[in-house]
Structure 1
Amino acid sequence: MSGKPDLIALNAASMYDLTGLVAVVTGGASGIGLMISSVLLANHATVYIVDLDEKLVKGIAERYSDLAQESGSRGKMVGLQGDCSSRDAAEKIAAALAQHEDYVTVLFNNAGIMGGAAEPPKQLSGDAFKKSYSSLTDEDFHNLGPYFLSSAFLPLLVVSKSKAPYGDKFEPQIINTVSMNGWTKDPATGGHNYPYLLSKGATGHMTSLLAHDFLKIGVRVNAISPGWFVTGMSAPGTVNEYGISSKQGTMESDDFGFKTPAGGSGQAKDVGSAALALVVNRFINGESILVDGGTLLVHPSKY
């Protein structure tokens, strides 16, 4: 079937045998979350994907679990319906996980929403800029769900050090999806979507804060900052039943107002291999890995 992912091709070297590792990926039924989830699955992890759409998340999990069996992966994927936007919802997701697993190795705070965009003003005047910026409303700016999810999953993460069958092979960790837009100074790289840009900047700073604070309980906190990756959000109508866009890897970012020097767009192996590096390397803590194809080398940033 065209667009069916090859899990064997996504499987890294044997040093990335993630047998026994339990990962939770919010927003894992589509986009970058699914890219990360598929690579973890290919490397024998048990992956729980969380999404608002129950039909979508269950269907994706079933298809990828079938692929895992076909390819010889010892991993599995399980779909959970859940809302990642509030404290109470985060607690419900953690409670649901606890019904299935005694521990969690890695929480990927990946889910997010875009909010509204402030179109660049055509005139360089105070009035024009005010009209552009004030087009956004209070509803466009949303809560920082990753904070509450990180809190909710701490007990399951900490207990992995005593209950996981792999011993000290993998340390518990939270990995946040920040985006290159958490570090950019050019709003064009984020479609002038200020709620999105600001939320990603906040998540990047939260990564450092929690990494420092959670040293006390032995939980690492890192982040991945992807650049141009084609998903159903950026290319509506191009995604197949496996959640893969037909334009993944080939669609250029130029039409969206910014440059990606590497050309084309990122693919599952690009962001997935970054996730694997963070999972297996205990010497990385409080960092954000930029996976942007060189975009922030040509656009001003604070990275």
Structure 2
Amino acid sequence: MSIFNLKGKTAIVTGGSSGIGKAISLALAQQGASVYILDMDEKGAADTVENIQNKGGFAVYKKCNIAIKDDVELAIKDAAKLEGRLDIIINNAGIAHIGNLEQTSSNDFDKLFAVNVKGMYYVMQAAIPFLKSNGGAILNMASIAANVGIKDRFAYSMTKSAVVGMTLSVAKDYLSYNIRCNCISPGRVHTPFVDGFLKNNYPGEEKVMFDKLSKSQPIGRMGRPEEVANLALYLCSDEASFITGSDYAIDGGFTRLNN
């Protein structure tokens, strides 16, 4: 008997062109899901699709800016029409920002809110009518920044706290439709974003800063995208049918053991 079997299921993954989103897309497709990737990065998304297809899976890329409601509605309707159903929604796309209250401009604030909060709202609102037909799973990407104080992450932490709140609300409101909604709160995960951040902010000191950031997790290293993807796969599978309204930290002990 195969566990985590997603054959016959359709998944939407936002931000599936790289990092955690790419790893989740690959994991879902490997278990048989038809994966629709919504992203602005055409090259990265095409690479994810090619990876999936080379392994015998099914994936389609749809260019979509999740901060634009019409884009989201069209992309999700197209996927539902092609497959005849939706089963899994992965709200992974998001942007970061570094700065405290005084260093966060109104434009920074609005941009973060538009992508990290409104973007998830648009995706869930467009997908819910289709999920109500058969039930399904929604998984939102939050962050440990929603639950612990992290230096210079004022606006980013605010948006991720909103993600946790949205998750709880949707989980409560759609229980009767057999729709589960959970979120994941990663700690530091080694993605292309981290490499770019270190290159731009600490030129010539990338290795030193990488080691410093890695050791801030009690486990002594950063997470891998595949480790987050494995948790996502479980939470979206029937094996997790008793789980809803939960926020899962995957952070190498950062939240509970850093004291």
| TM-score class, shorter | 0.7 to 0.9
Equivalent position SS for 1:44 = coil
Alignment of 1:91-240 (within 5 A): 91-118=73-100, 133-141=101-109, 142-143=113-114, 144=117, 145-159=119-133, 161=134, 171-184=135-148, 186-188=149-151, 192-236=152-196
The structure with more radius of gyration: 1
Q: Deviations over 1:154-196 (max 9, x none)?
A: 122122x2xxxxxxxxx40111011211211x213xxx22221
Equivalent residue number for residue 233 of structure 2: 276
Equivalent residue number for residue 289 of structure 1: 248
Which amino acid in 1 is paired with 2:3? M
Residues 58 and 80 in structure 1, CA contact (< 8 A), matched pair in contact too: no
**For the residues of structure 2 that align with 1:266 and 1:102, how far apart are their CA atoms?**
36
2:66 is the alignment partner of 1:84: yes
Give unpaired runs (5+ residues) of structure 1.
Answer: 1-12, 70-74, 119-132, 162-170, 239-249
Alignment of 1:24-43 (within 5 A): 24-43=12-31
Residues 252 and 264 in structure 1, CA contact (< 8 A), matched pair in contact too: no
TM-score of the two chains, using structure 1 as the length reference: 0.73
- Runs of 4 or more consecutive aligned structure 1 residues displaced over 4 Å after TM superposition: 250-254
Residues 253 and 265 in structure 1, CA contact (< 8 A), matched pair in contact too: no
- The alpha-carbon deviation at position 254 of structure 1 amounts to 5.3
- The alpha-carbon deviation at position 257 of structure 1 amounts to 8.8
Which amino acid in 1 is paired with 2:132? V
**For the residues of structure 2 that align with 1:23 and 1:252, how far apart are their CA atoms?**
36
Which amino acid in 2 is paired with 1:194? F
Q: Deviations over 1:181-233 (max 9, x none)?
A: 1211x213xxx222211111110111101111112333111111111111111
Equivalent residue number for residue 50 of structure 1: 38
- Of stretches 24-33 and 87-96 in structure 1, the one that deviates more from structure 2 is 87-96
Residues 26 and 48 in structure 2, CA contact (< 8 A), matched pair in contact too: no
Residues 228 and 253 in structure 1, CA contact (< 8 A), matched pair in contact too: no
- The alpha-carbon deviation at position 237 of structure 1 amounts to 9.6
| Structure 1 residues 214 and 253, CA gap change in structure 2 (3 angstroms) | farther
Q: CA RMSD in A?
A: 2.4
Equivalent position SS for 1:264 = coil
Residues 5 and 31 in structure 2, CA contact (< 8 A), matched pair in contact too: yes
| Structure 1 residues 98 and 257, CA gap change in structure 2 (3 angstroms) | closer
| Structure 1 residues 237 and 148, CA gap change in structure 2 (3 angstroms) | closer
Between the aligned residues of both structures, percent identity stands at: 30
Equivalent residue number for residue 10 of structure 1: none
- The alpha-carbon deviation at position 50 of structure 1 amounts to 1.3
**For the residues of structure 2 that align with 1:16 and 1:63, how far apart are their CA atoms?**
20
- The alpha-carbon deviation at position 136 of structure 1 amounts to 1.3
Equivalent residue number for residue 223 of structure 2: 266
Count of residues paired in the alignment: 243
TM-score of the two chains, using structure 2 as the length reference: 0.85
